[in-house]
Amino acid sequence: MAAAAREALGLSAIAPLKPEQYATHVGVEILTIDEMGLSEESRCQLLEVDKGSWSGMAIRESGLIGVLVNPTHSPERQASTMMHELSHVVLKHVPVRVDVSSAGILLVSEYSEDDEEEANWLSGALLLPRDALKHYRDKNWSPTKIMAHFGVSQDMYNWRIRMTGVDVQMRRSRASV
């Protein structure tokens, strides 16, 4: 699915894919906190008091699907959250719990553990594909350079390196030479 998205967008297997570009491709709006029409009290709660308690959410209203991410998080964390929420949308995950705002907006609150895991895998593959990791590690790019190139956090980089087995493959390849 991640490779097909890259192909549809005319991107190579080793090119970065920005979440905003993917959102446009799949027809999902990226929303800002300012567009939500929140009261000052609600804004304060979300952006100051409880800023560490949420990362993002999918919002559905009147046929619109949007993704809202926590603007107090780092750009790398926002990218990861955005791609994770987009993954839920394209995988057609059905939430196990849904909240409705006082304005009647459907806020997706919770997915099953299996759906969360599937969204983690897809978002990771979209943000930092295995082929790209292998390519740039073969070129001796540092982890810092790879993270900056793809706009991902240290946590995402470490998870993808561990889950894809790229470094293990490279160590074994060097040991057999």
Taking only the tens place, the pLDDT of each residue in 65-102 is: 999 999 999 999 999 999 999 999 999 998 887 666 66
In this prediction, residues 37-60 reach a mean pLDDT of 85
**Which residues on neighbouring strands pair with residue 61, listed in sequence order?**
64
CA distance 118 to 124: 10
CA distance 13 to 167: 18
SS3 163: helix
Which has the closest alpha carbon to 151: 27, 61, 37, 22? 22
Taking only the tens place, the pLDDT of each residue in 115-130 is: 999 999 999 999 999 9
- What's the whole-model pTM score? 0.88
In eight-state DSSP terms, residue 35 is G
Kind and range of the H or E element at 122?
A: helix 113-127
**pLDDT for res 104:** 56
**Which residues on neighbouring strands pair with residue 98, listed in sequence order?**
108
In this prediction, residues 132-154 reach a mean pLDDT of 97
